[in-house]
Structure 1
C-alpha cells in the first residue's frame, strides 16, 4: 500500500498510534489533482502541539481518536505538479502553508481565511500531517523559497508567521515598545519579528532562566524572570 508516485517508491510517514508511541508506516497519497503539487519533504519542525499529541493524544479540545501522521511546520521540493498549476515547476523549493480553508464561509470570503471554521490543518485530528516522505498539497499554498534561504529555515516560515501576524495586529513600529509574555519558540520568533518591524525596546518575560538567556542572546533589551509560586 501507499505508493508515493515516484517510480513505485513506498511513501512512509511518522504515525502517532498511542501515547509516546510513533511508528514509521506506509502513508497513502491521494491522486494528484489539477491544482495540486506533490512535495518531497525535506524539513519538518516539531511544534508544541505535536508534543502535546505525543504525550497526551490531545491538544486543547482536539483529540487523537485514531492513528494520525504528525507534523505541520514544513518545507520540501516539488516533485510533480497538477495539469493546471502555473506557479510551480518540478524542482522548486517551497514552504507549505499547513491550513486548507473552505473558501466558502464568511471568513474566507471576507479575506480572513485563517479564521475558517472548516479549516483542514496538517496534524490536527482527523487531518494527517506532513512528517512523511511526500505529501500532496494545494499549489497555491506552496510558496517558493529564495535561493539564500535553507529548507530548514523554510520550515520555520509557519511559526514565524505567528510573530509577523502579531506585530501587524499590534501595529508595531519604531515608536512601539513591546512586552512579550513567554520566551518559548513562538515568543522568540515574535521578538525577532517585532524587532524587524522596528520596535526600539523589547522586554520578554518567562519562568525559565534558560529560555530568558536565549532571548537575551537573540537581542531582547531586557528579560524578566517571574515566579511560579502563586500566593492568594
Structure 2
C-alpha cells in the first residue's frame, strides 16, 4: 500500500439549525424549470417537459452569510431562489410515496448562474457546467431537520437584492413537487446520504452586481445570504 501524495479532501459541512452537528455534502443535484412562470420567462413550455437535472460539485456549497469575490468570467451573474432538499437515506428507483423516507431536511438556497456563459453554451449546443458549477455557486442557509418543520409543499419563497424583492412565489407553484422530484431523480442515480437536491426557481431571476447583497428566504427556514465585493 502506497501513501497518497496529498491528504484526502474533507467534505463541505453545512450548519444545521439549532445544532452543533454539521451536514456533510456529497453531491448537488439541481432541477431545471420547475416553476411554470420561470419556464415561460426562459422561453419554454412547462406543460411539455418532465423534470431534468444538472449538477454542481459538492464543494460548490457555501454557507450563508459570506462576503465573496465576484465570480470570474461573467458580466451577468443571476440569482435563483430555491428550496433545497437534504437527503439522509439511500434509495434507487423509489416511488413518490417512498421519497419522504429518504429526506432528512430542508434549506433555503441560491443557485447562482453565470447567465452569459450559459447563453453562449446553449447557442453553441455545448454543456453549460461552467455556468452553474463554478466555485461558491450554491449558497445554502442552515439546514432544518424535517421533523422540526411543517408540510413543505407550500410556503412563501422569495429573493431580494439589497432589500428589493426580485422573486416572490409559493412552493405550491412547483410543477413537480418534492416527492415527485426525488422519486424521478432516483430512477437516474442512486441517492445517498449527503446529497442535496435544489428544486428549481420561480420567475423573476435577475442580475447581481459587485457590491450587492442577495438573500433567499423561505417560510420556516433560515435564509441564504451572500454579498459580493
Check whether TM > 0.5.
no
Structure number with the bigger relative contact order (C-alpha 8 A, sep ≥ 6) is 2
With the length of structure 1 as denominator, give the TM-score of the two structures: 0.24
Larger radius of gyration: 1
With the length of structure 2 as denominator, give the TM-score of the two structures: 0.25
The structure whose residues are more often strand, as a share, is 2
The structure whose residues are more often helix, as a share, is 1
